[in-house]
């Protein structure tokens, strides 16, 4: 009977995940163009081409920088927000809702809004900086090849910090107050209590935020497409945006599928490494 109840979910999982994944790997070994039902088996040629493709290697580097910046930025900011909003002061629920609200917004909508904010001539960011007498800080945020990727990372951190805050808050609420009382009796100040009590017990939350942040960063697509479409040049392209362009603009579905396989392998390896090291530092309460 338990297997009978689980069967529908298993069938859906196989139909919409396992089978497409196997199919993607198969097509990555062909020259399929996505339209013609006839195609040729090319073996590892698509993967060998990726090793020599400067555009793909640039996108791979951008993706790694994006993932690391997003993961660290939103985790640190989320932890700071959680520590500030963990308490019994009046209005904390309101502030929690405000900081979490970007998480429930569409990434495409966020991208278009921030593209307007970053606009070098009419955007509100440069307008505010100029009105404050800080015109030297006004930049072409999405047009400067040195700033564009970091400007998108900043938006992704702003969008994801609320999720990390929620995870850290849930973990903080599970820490027994007796531990803080014992530490206070021993003469530990606020900083020592954080380093010796709070931080070690935040292991589960740290694992969740770092792993999910890295996965989301490596799959970056929506914000980049809505804010820069990979420009200027190729400095903000990610693996996902190159894969999209390769498949739906250049009709090289076999090559695009090879990119997808590479991205899957990278995400799987990094995730396994993270889980191996992060779970070792988790402390049971």
Indicate the pLDDT class of residue 59, thresholds 50, 70 and 90: very high
Q: Is the pTM of this model over 0.95?
A: no
98 phi-psi bin (left φ>0, alpha ψ -120 to 50, beta other): alpha
Residue 231 in tokens: 């420009």
Give percent above pLDDT 70 in the chain: 99
- pLDDT digit string (tens) for 178-211? 888 888 888 888 888 888 888 989 999 999 999 9
Indicate the pLDDT class of residue 284, thresholds 50, 70 and 90: low
Collapsed DSSP state (helix, strand, coil) of residue 276 = helix
Q: Contact 256/266 with Cβ under 8 angstroms?
A: no
The average pLDDT across 147-159 equals 96
What angle, rounded to 10 degrees, do the helices at 239-248 and 253-280 form? 160
Span of 45-49, 57-61, 170-174, 278-282 with lowest mean pLDDT: 278-282
pLDDT above 90 (res 283): no
> CB-based burial of residue 16 (10 Å sphere; 0-12 exposed, 13-18 middle, 19+ buried)?
exposed
Q: How many CB atoms lie within 10 A of CB 77?
A: 18
pLDDT above 80 (res 99): yes
Candidates 213, 217, 216, 224; CA nearest to 108 is 224
């Amino acid at each position: 009977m338990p297997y009978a109840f689980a069967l529908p979910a298993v069938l859906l999982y196989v139909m919409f995940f396992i089978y497409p994944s196997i199919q993607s790997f198969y097509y990555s070994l062909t020259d399929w163009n996505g339209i013609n039902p006839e195609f040729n088996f090319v073996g590892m040629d698509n993967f060998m081409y990726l090793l020599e493709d400067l555009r793909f290697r640039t996108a791979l580097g951008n993706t790694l920088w994006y993932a690391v910046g997003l993961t660290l930025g939103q985790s640190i900011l989320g932890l700071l927000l959680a520590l500030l909003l963990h308490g019994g002061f009046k209005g904390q629920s309101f502030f929690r809702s405000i900081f979490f609200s970007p998480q429930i917004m569409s990434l495409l909508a966020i991208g278009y809004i921030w593209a307007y904010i970053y606009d070098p001539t009419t955007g509100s960011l440069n307008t505010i900086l100029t009105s404050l007498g800080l015109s030297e800080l006004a930049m072409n945020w999405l047009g400067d090849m040195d700033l564009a990727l970091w400007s998108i990372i900043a938006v992704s951190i702003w969008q994801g910090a609320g999720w990390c805050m929620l995870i850290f808050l849930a973990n903080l609420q599970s820490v027994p107050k007796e531990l803080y009382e014992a530490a206070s009796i021993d003469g530990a100040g606020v900083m020592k209590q954080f380093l010796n009590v709070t931080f070690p017990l935040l292991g589960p939350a740290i694992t969740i935020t770092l792993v999910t942040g890295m996965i989301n960063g490596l799959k970056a697509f929506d914000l980049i497409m809505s804010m820069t479409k990979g420009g200027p040049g190729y400095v903000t392209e990610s693996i996902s945006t190159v894969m999209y362009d390769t498949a739906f603009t250049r009709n090289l579905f076999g090559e695009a599928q090879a990119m997808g396989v590479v991205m899957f392998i990278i995400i799987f390896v990094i995730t396994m490494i993270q889980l191996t090291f992060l779970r070792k530092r988790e402390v049971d309460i």
